[in-house]
Amino acid sequence: MKALDIRVERAHINPVKDKNKADQLHPHLKNLALIINRNEELSAESKTHLSHYQKMIQEYRITLFPPEMRTKIKVSDKKLKDQFGVIHRFT
């Protein structure tokens, strides 16, 4: 909740910067939606990787918007792309 409060406050101060950060997150949210729409086709292993991907996206959101907050796992754009690739290999 604190992360959301910080984001709202900063978006109000600098909406352009918030949009730039949101643009970095958008491709991963789009990929997540594509995978979730195919949920019934996914193997059990793919679903495990999907769950991890969802957690990574949540952590990435924190990394982007209130970077001073610590995350449980280190996440980057590259790591998210790699995890998306892992899911694709198992589908």
Q: Which pTM was predicted?
A: 0.88
Distance CA 45, CA 43 (A): 5
Residue-wise pLDDT for 63-86, tens only, equals 998 888 889 899 999 999 999 999
Q: Looking at residue 20, what is its pLDDT?
A: 94
Residue-wise pLDDT for 41-70, tens only, equals 888 999 999 999 999 999 999 999 888 888
Look at residues 75, 23, 22, 21 and name the one whose alpha carbon lies nearest to residue 53: 75
Q: Looking at residue 73, what is its pLDDT?
A: 92
Distance CA 89, CA 78 (A): 17
